[in-house]
């Protein structure tokens, strides 16, 4: 009994500081955001006026809010799907798809892992500034330069409302793929080589190896990757704010909920309205995580 008491006291002593910091710097701001969302606070008055659900009523009647939600929803579907498909393909090639007995990776797989992971070393703002130059609409742009040299019209990758969103999505996929290639490679490394060798002896090709062995045994890792990428799609801010015209333009064609939160809080000083946006975004994120984990749940495969 005494030993159990001492152990509990020891654990409590170690947890007290981090739990206190978490409550003060994470839980407390969340709680305050819920309250501020029901006020008309503009960031300058000490006692904001309580207005109930008025901010939420205005929010759901705001066309720009629905544009932001639409873009987040599209990212929520496309970013995880494209990133995971591409990352799984490359991870399979680097670890299993090289052919030959023993399911080895392609020649030079170690170098390719470093190459794919390189975008993760760059800060998000650096990536945004870099692709601003790649997408420049004049002859100095990396993509438009060759087009103009061939006598073709430049493409407005970031200035055309019909193309800008897809340009942002492409950059996000480019930056994210490398991390998930490494993540899936780590998962593949934990699968016994004997399973691949046995399947090869039975006549399985690369496609069969992928769909009958690799994907089922990596399903838990894929599930985690889907949730992380979904949260990234809902929480995207820096790339859109730095890379796009008018911080979400042109004509709000790339705006997302995070940029609208920032714009309303620090440009229009409508902190109550921005907090209401944050509350909606919070429930979207939590709902997505819970729904994804439940829908993708399946029996665990032991090996």
What are residue 269's phi and psi, to 5 degrees? 55, 40
**Which residues lie across from 50 on neighbouring strands?**
39
Count CB neighbours of 36 within 10 A: 22
- Per DSSP, helices labelled H in 96-218 are 109-121, 124-134, 144-149, 164-189, 193-201, 206-209, 215-217
Tens of pLDDT, residue by residue, the chain (303 residues): 556 767 777 778 888 888 889 888 888 888 888 889 999 888 777 778 888 889 999 999 999 999 999 999 999 999 999 999 999 888 888 877 655 555 666 677 777 778 888 888 888 889 999 998 889 888 778 888 888 888 888 888 888 888 999 999 999 999 999 899 988 888 887 777 767 667 666 666 667 777 777 777 788 888 889 888 988 898 899 999 999 888 888 889 999 999 999 999 888 889 999 999 999 998 888 888 788 777 766 655 554
The full set of domain ranges for the chain reads 55-295
**Dist. CA 166–CA 212, nearest whole Å:** 33
Largest CA distance in the chain: 85
How is domain 55-295 classified at the architecture level of CATH? Orthogonal Bundle (1.10)
DSSP 245: G
| 0.75 exceeded by pTM | yes
């Amino acid at each position: 009994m005494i030993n159990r008491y001492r152990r509990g006291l020891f654990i409590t002593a170690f947890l007290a500081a981090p739990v206190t910091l978490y409550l003060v710097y994470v839980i407390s701001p969340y709680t305050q955001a819920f309250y501020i969302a029901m006020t008309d606070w503009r960031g300058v008055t000490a006692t904001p006026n309580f207005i109930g659900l008025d901010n939420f009523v205005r929010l759901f009647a705001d066309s720009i809010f629905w544009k932001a939600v639409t873009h987040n929803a599209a990212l929520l579907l496309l970013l995880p799907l494209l990133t995971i498909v591409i990352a799984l393909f490359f991870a399979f090639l680097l670890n299993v798809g090289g052919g030959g007995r023993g399911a080895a990776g392609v020649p030079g797989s170690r170098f390719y892992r470093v190459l794919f992971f390189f975008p993760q070393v760059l800060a998000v703002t650096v990536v945004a500034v870099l692709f601003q130059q790649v997408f420049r609409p004049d002859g100095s742009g990396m993509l438009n330069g060759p087009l103009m040299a061939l006598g073709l019209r430049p493409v407005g990758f970031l200035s055309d409302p019909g193309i800008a969103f897809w340009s942002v999505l492409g950059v996000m996929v480019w930056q994210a793929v490398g991390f998930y290639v490494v993540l899936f490679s780590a998962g593949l490394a934990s699968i016994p080589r004997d399973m691949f060798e046995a399947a090869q002896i039975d006549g399985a090709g690369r496609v069969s190896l992928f769909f009958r062995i690799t994907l089922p045994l990596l399903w838990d890792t894929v599930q985690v990757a889907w949730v992380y990428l979904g949260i990234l799609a809902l929480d995207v801010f820096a790339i859109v704010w730095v890379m796009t015209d008018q911080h979400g333009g042109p004509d709000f064609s790339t705006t997302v909920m995070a940029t609208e939160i920032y714009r309303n809080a620090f440009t229009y000083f409508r902190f109550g309205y921005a907090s209401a946006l944050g509350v909606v975004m919070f429930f979207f994120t939590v709902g997505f995580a819970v729904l994804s984990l439940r829908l993708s749940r399946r029996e665990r495969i032991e090996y």
